[in-house]
Amino acid sequence: MSATMIGVLGFAIMFLMMLLGLPIALAMMLVGAVGVAMVLTTDAAVHLLSSNVWDQFSSYGLTVVPLFVLMGQIAYRSGVTERLYSTAYTWFGRMPGGIAGTTVLASMGFSAISGSNSATAATMGTVAMPEMRKYKYDGGLSTGSVAIGGTLGAIIPPSVLLIVIAVQTEQSVLRLFLGSLLPGLILTTLFVLTIFLLCRRKPELGPAGPATTLREKLLGLTGVIEALILFSIVIGGLYMGWFTPSEAGAAGAFGALLMALVRRKLSWRAAVDCMSETMRISAMVLLLLTGAVMFGRFLAISRLPFELAEWASALPVAPELILVVLLLIYLLGGMLMDALGFLVVTLPIFFPLAAVLGFDPIWFTVLLTLVTSLGSVTPPVGVNVFIVSSFAPEVPIQTIFKGAGVFIISYIVLIAAIIAFPAIVLALPTSM
């Protein structure tokens, strides 16, 4: 059996393992180690297993992951989310569907300090669902806005997903952050516009909240100060060259801790919860990266990615058509698996292909992130939908999927715009 066929077989076996319930990281490690043993030798596989695990877990660059996660955990448990939501509600709650729009805007704000779509969905579900029940919002609109707002956590920097991709593909974390910033803001605007148009046509979907005075609006702006400071420290410090990514994560985590202590909003119990959750998430990400590197080395040895790239580049079709096929693959993959897991598994195969086809790596990465993030609100998996369902058990799961599905058109519009106008992604990174 040729090395390339062993690569194809290994890829199929790995997906079968995952379908049977084996953790993604473990499936990648096993297939990577066994595959290297088959293509090379058992000694090479043992060396890869030992050296690769050590290299990943001792990498200074990966300290950025727990630091950004810790920043988000402290911000969440010290009440930053509630203050963000209160500010957005004061300004936009009076509009048709204002509370749902407020939820999306607050999700954007929390995404800028949490870096996770599931964490954003869970946090906003806790804060927003009681308010929307209070004002008798439609079940589909209320749950759908929370679920779709959560997807911004994977797109708005500092995104843990983008950090992992940057490490795996050896790209600049800062350039990926800058590339995803404008698409994230546009997507948020499209979500809010969708809510406004729906509720203008059918006011019963989202009744307007009480009016607020200009003084209340101005006083309410104090609720965004903390999130704005943290975001400015992280992204501003990176952009100005003051920090490396790890140093920016440390500065952000320290800033969040300092704010929580000044406000006296962080109890000992909350601090322990922050640390334990940070360790749990960080261990998961590190294991995924370890498995991904092992699996990627096996694929490189088997030459499967390079054979695929050569085959695709020789096809008598436009690169744009191949791009559409790739996006459909990632859309389906995002529907069946967690976005992080699917991207980590498939990037070793498709990233070299994108390079051969001449696609800019930052543009291609942001595009794939958008497409796979959409999978968190589409059946059958729809992680965000099931998270929101736990906060709204009275709303049928199919109603939540339907409510989130209304916003898919926003994703399609943005993806089409990015393909037509790459500068939406590349303008800020190229300004460095």
Q: Give the tokens for residue 344.
A: 């980590």
Q: Which two tokens stand for residue 353?
A: 């292909």
Six-digit token pair at 108?
């954007």
- What confidence score (pLDDT) does residue 412 get? 92
CB 107 within 8 A of CB 86: no
Cα(25)–Cα(347) distance, rounded to whole angstroms? 14
Report the 10 Å Cβ neighbour count for 369: 26
Rounded mean pLDDT for each run of 10 residues along the chain, 432 residues in total: 80 80 80 83 76 69 77 78 76 78 83 72 77 81 88 84 83 88 93 90 78 74 76 80 81 85 82 84 77 76 72 74 84 71 78 85 91 80 77 84 89 93 91 72
Give the CA distances from residue 293 to residues 73, 276, 344, in Å, rounded to whole numbers and listed in that order: 28, 26, 9
**Residue 410, both tokens:** 């926003």
How many angstroms separate the CA atoms of 294 and 288, rounded?
A: 10
Neighbours of 257 (CB within 10 A): 18
307-316: long-range contacts at Cβ-Cβ below 8 A with a sequence spacing of 24 or more? 307/4, 308/349, 308/352, 308/353, 309/352, 309/353, 309/355, 309/356, 309/357, 310/356, 312/353, 312/356, 312/357, 313/356, 313/357
Residues composing the chain = 432
Could you give the CA distance from residue 221 to residue 193 in angstroms, rounded to a whole number? 22
Those residues with Cβ within 8 angstroms of residue 229's Cβ, 6 or more apart along the chain or in another chain: 255, 259
Q: Given phi > 0 = left and psi -120 to 50 = alpha, else beta, which region is 206? A: beta
Residue type, 345: V
How many Cβ atoms sit within 10 Å of the Cβ of residue 71? 29
pLDDT at 416: 92
Q: What ranges do the domains of the chain cover?
A: 1-58+290-302, 59-266+303-430
- Show the tokens assigned to 208: 């307007």
For residue 275, the tally of other CB atoms under 10 A from its CB is: 14
What is the pLDDT at residue 305?
67
* Residue 61 structure tokens: 């660059």
Q: What is the spatial distance between Cα 296 and Cα 11, in angstroms, rounded to a whole number?
A: 11
The residue to which tokens 């440390």 are assigned: 250
pLDDT of amino acid 46: 79
Q: What does the alpha-carbon distance between residue 157 and residue 181 come to, in Å, rounded to a whole number? A: 6
